Structure 1
């Protein structure tokens, strides 16, 4: 489990700052998850790759919800700046204090257990037979979002007492994307009710509830699906989670096998400037990072008054895989026996 330092959220300015932190935190999980998924391409591990991909899609949804809420209260999401991307390996944004270092690495069960499950672990896990974890009580990501809900309610109540509202943002800035996200999970944030509903979706998809590892149907487009932590737990255990006839939940069939034989041996935490400038690794790393920077610029425009730019952003997102796969097929010029990999860096002036 990752923990956040206590964040003061008392004023509207504090709330805007907290939502920007939430945007950065949701985004920061995407590069490590995508890197692991890229390394599973055509390795015979499609089931695992699809599970990771489903989490990536929902992290993008959570980022979108946080941006919509920030816009709704008159803020402006900032996505296209170098500091928006964390340094890998390193902690996630939001003053994470528990020592978790998040890398960009090839897929492995150790990465799933030691990093991805730690990122997504809720404040209280639902025991799956033969598997449980001890929990320390600190400020978790779920509690961070719960605090945001609390201050939204308090600030809106105070505003209404004066005949006002904190939801003063331009409704035309709200982004929905029905081609990818059902309107039941991504919708315009226009008032307290829709803001709270959006945050509840983030919490439920990420953590589930204290009694059920599955996401509430209404919070997941009416599709039965496990919360993120439990999807990663299935991958690690190599089995699916299902109801136990005797009560609770258990691991069972079908299995989720992992075959490591064809996973490319990517050098961990690559950096574009570490490659020789005339190498294929550098050239393709530059192409990858140029596209990644273009993606962030398009997302910034999307959430700052041009919601139709989400179509451009999604097109660029799919192109990232092309350059990632090219990198994973190129020997690392600095490390014999390894291949290059995506570094997810913001490039300026390119």
Structure 2
């Protein structure tokens, strides 16, 4: 068992739209907010995607296509989250951004970070209006001549352009040396821990791009451009982006996120039937008993996944036991299993459960994506997950048995959680 102290993040430096990024502290502050921004998209899109009724549906029926499209965007948002953290590690702040922290986990409804005009993000069943008014506004491309901004910006592309320029400023890039002054570049990346960055790509099937090892100005800008070109701030006149932005190949293209969502908003990709899940649910408002207990298990699984991701980023991929076993590789594989089997296994059960009383009467339950604060301090999180699962299995037998959520919990690393978080 290992423990990560989830209160290590450093104070953020106030950022202004009219000031360039000219210190490492300002760059870190922007990257921290970039990582928070990327995480905020994942529950947002997953909630809408999992509201689609895909159980026992033909692959040709309305719905599965929209679900696959949203899933591809979520996978790429996970890539963007890993790229943002790689950038943070590269400038020496790797220990300062715990994902498993109630201050880092987004809450809904909530305003999109640093956006003018304000855009409220909300968990809601998938509709064309939600996609048009929220998702497409979130992914709104920057105009080709838009000036970079930071604290007050109109698109994510402008925000990332400020980060792009900040790396160039700190590395001393210019016409004579577009990839930076060697001495200043070494200074910026002097505390880099490449062995802690996420560079594996096997988890990324279904989405474009690959993780990027960041170690100099060129690789940092490649990581930023991957995020931007896949849909966050792309020029609206360009309809396609390379499947691998870091290594474009002729004929290998995909639509950016804005264009993918546009397919749903315009009805080109039919949504089909959706579960009547509530908007911005809270687990405490679910009826006491099996439904609320299942919601608590879902939040605990979500929190565990974030904790496991922190563990991945605190483990070196150079640490190989006897030349045979890599703990880091094992953690990465367990992370994918936790996302696809543990968390989504509970979500799939939740959305099929009707609520017959209380605040959400007439709706189906759904994941609330709240930080779960019920793990006993210093004890294996998997022990508590098993207790929560044992409690609901009699009511939801699909969570037990071979290759089930309960079975998978027993295969997960017995991590612990430290308090206080902040």
**Superposition TM-score tier, normalisation by shorter sequence:** 0.7 to 0.9
Asked if the contact 1:36–1:107 (Cα under 8 Å) also holds between the matched residues in 2, the reply is yes
Query: C-alpha offsets along residues 119-146 of structure 1, whole Å, 9 cap, x if unaligned?
Result: 1111239xxxxxxxxxxx9542101111
What is the aligned partner in structure 2 of residue 112 from structure 1? 131
What is the aligned partner in structure 1 of residue 336 from structure 2? 314
Tell me if 1:328 matches 2:358: no
Tell me if 1:187 matches 2:187: no
What is the aligned partner in structure 1 of residue 161 from structure 2? 146
Q: 2:293 aligns with which of 269, 283, 286?
A: 283
Structure number with larger C-alpha Rg: 2
TM-score (norm 1): 0.83
Deviation at 1:5, TM superposition (A): 7.1
1:313/1:54 Cα in 2 relative to 1: closer, same or farther (>3 Å)?
A: same
Tell me if 1:297 matches 2:320: no
CA distance in 1, matches of 2:353, 2:367: 11
More deviation in 12-21 or 163-172? Answer: 163-172
Asked if the contact 2:286–2:292 (Cα under 8 Å) also holds between the matched residues in 1, the reply is yes
Asked if the contact 1:5–1:95 (Cα under 8 Å) also holds between the matched residues in 2, the reply is no
Query: C-alpha offsets along residues 180-227 of structure 1, whole Å, 9 cap, x if unaligned?
Result: 348963121111110001101100001443531111354177542100
CA distance in 2, matches of 1:233, 1:95: 24
Aligned residues: 316
Query: C-alpha offsets along residues 9-55 of structure 1, whole Å, 9 cap, x if unaligned?
Result: 32101111111111110010110100111111335411100110010
Tell me if 1:123 matches 2:142: yes
What is the aligned partner in structure 1 of residue 405 from structure 2? none
Residue ranges of structure 1 left out of the alignment (5+ in a row) = 126-136, 240-255
CA distance in 1, matches of 2:184, 2:266: 55
Query: C-alpha offsets along residues 51-110 of structure 1, whole Å, 9 cap, x if unaligned?
Result: 100100000000111111110110123211012122201112x33342211111111111
- How much is the aligned-residue C-alpha RMSD, in angstroms? 2.4
What is the aligned partner in structure 1 of residue 74 from structure 2? 56
What is the aligned partner in structure 1 of residue 30 from structure 2? 18
Q: 2:118 aligns with which of 84, 99, 105?
A: 99
1:348/1:186 Cα in 2 relative to 1: closer, same or farther (>3 Å)?
A: same
CA distance in 2, matches of 1:36, 1:283: 22
What is the aligned partner in structure 2 of residue 244 from structure 1? none
SS in 2 for 1:302: helix
1:5/1:105 Cα in 2 relative to 1: closer, same or farther (>3 Å)?
A: farther
Asked if the contact 2:142–2:155 (Cα under 8 Å) also holds between the matched residues in 1, the reply is yes
What is the aligned partner in structure 1 of residue 378 from structure 2? none
Deviation at 1:161, TM superposition (A): 4.7
1:102/1:7 Cα in 2 relative to 1: closer, same or farther (>3 Å)?
A: farther
CA distance in 2, matches of 1:304, 1:164: 23
Asked if the contact 2:277–2:364 (Cα under 8 Å) also holds between the matched residues in 1, the reply is yes
Query: C-alpha offsets along residues 265-311 of structure 1, whole Å, 9 cap, x if unaligned?
Result: 0111111111233x222111111111100011111122233553332
What is the aligned partner in structure 2 of residue 231 from structure 1? 260
More deviation in 195-204 or 7-16? Answer: 7-16
TM-score (norm 2): 0.70
Residue ranges of structure 2 left out of the alignment (5+ in a row) = 1-14, 145-151, 173-179, 317-327, 376-422
